[in-house]
Amino acid sequence: MSTLEESYLVGLIGDGITASLSPPMHEQEGREHGLLYLYRPVDTGALGLQGQAAQDAAPRLLAAGRDLGFNAFNITHPFKQTIMEHLDEVDPDARNLGAVNTVVFRDGRSVGYNTDYSGYITGLQGAIAEPDLGDVVQLGAGGAGSAIAYALLRAGARQLTLIDLDLDRSTARAAALQEQFPDQAVRARPHADLPASLVTATGLAHCTPVGMHSHPGMPIESSWLRPEMWVSEVVYLPVETELVVAARAAGCQVVDGGRMAVGQALDAFGLMTGLRADPERVRRHFLELVARNQG
């Protein structure tokens, strides 16, 4: 715990985020470090802003926060891409991803980072000491999937197969990633090829909404799971999705969606404060928050 009581004022800019778990996670970890740490959601929807009006307001809100003494902001949907042009500096990984979800103010300058990809790596390696990244299949190439695909290649995946219902989207994403990672193999395959692709896969990264409370179900057949493969889930509400339960039953090493959510918080907290958040403590608090919200 810190010997000096430091203060931090941080926020989250996004649409429909008043119920986000980020504020209580950050604030509790701040208290554990002896900090005065206040995390405020800035919800453009709650402010009555939609569409282009919200896009125009986001950089003004960020600038106002800097002027008012905020230390940092998390940035979420739908501003992760458009906020970049308004920053003084962007971390190379965030630039490669084309998205920023954390902005830190240093010496009056705004610096953008992406902890979506780094949070995934943190969560994956926190759950599995040495995940086999030889032949990874990723289901879903949309918003979260873009960051996770980049994360897998950044972590050393030798072969990454992207599968999405929208083959054009997965093909375009695979081509862009192949250019960024020329020494690794990135390919897109039709959704119908998913069962065949999983036959030799060392890991499956699930990156679609299937399994959420609002989209219940299984994204794959449970018979396609093999105990030799690891399975990671992006959905964390609920944490115990049907895929997570089925993968454990099949003997797979499993990374639930909460791991990525916690990983993002860990990395953002570190960027914002320069301190290392305690992974297990933050995860315990996250699970308590999820249980409380579901209750």
Tell me if domain 7-113+260-294 and domain 118-255 are identical in fold: yes
- Per-residue pLDDT of 258-279, as tens digits, reads 999 999 999 999 999 999 999 9
Q: What b/e string do you get for 191-220 counting C-beta neighbours within 10 Å, with b at 16 or more?
A: eeebeebbeebbbbbbbbebbbeeeeeebb
Strand spans (E) along 44-101? 72-75, 89-90
pTM of the model: 0.93
Residue 5: predicted pLDDT: 65
Residue 6: predicted pLDDT: 86
Q: How far is Cα 132 from Cα 222, in angstroms, rounded to an integer?
A: 21
What Rg, from alpha-carbon coordinates, does the chain have?
19
Torsions phi, psi for 56 (to 5 deg): -70, -35
- Per-residue pLDDT of 39-79, as tens digits, reads 999 999 999 999 999 999 999 999 999 999 999 999 999 99
Q: How far is Cα 100 from Cα 92, in angstroms, rounded to an integer?
A: 11
Give one DSSP letter per residue of 225-253, joined into a string. Answer: --TTSEEEE---SSSS-HHHHHHHHTT-E
**Alpha-carbon distance values, 261 to 45, 52, 140, 178, 275 (Å):** 22, 28, 18, 27, 18
Q: How many CB atoms lie within 10 A of CB 262?
A: 28
Annotated domain spans of the chain: 7-113+260-294, 118-255
Four-way CATH pick for 118-255: 3.40.630.10, 3.40.50.720, 3.30.70.150, 3.30.450.20: 3.40.50.720
Q: How far is Cα 244 from Cα 247, in angstroms, rounded to an integer?
A: 5
- What three-state secondary structure class fits 209? coil
Active site residue 210: no
Residue 1: predicted pLDDT: 46
Residue 293: predicted pLDDT: 82
Q: Which CATH architecture has domain 7-113+260-294?
A: 3-Layer(aba) Sandwich (3.40)
Q: Which of 22, 71, 80, 116 is catalytic?
A: 80
Which stretches in the chain have pLDDT values below 50?
1-3
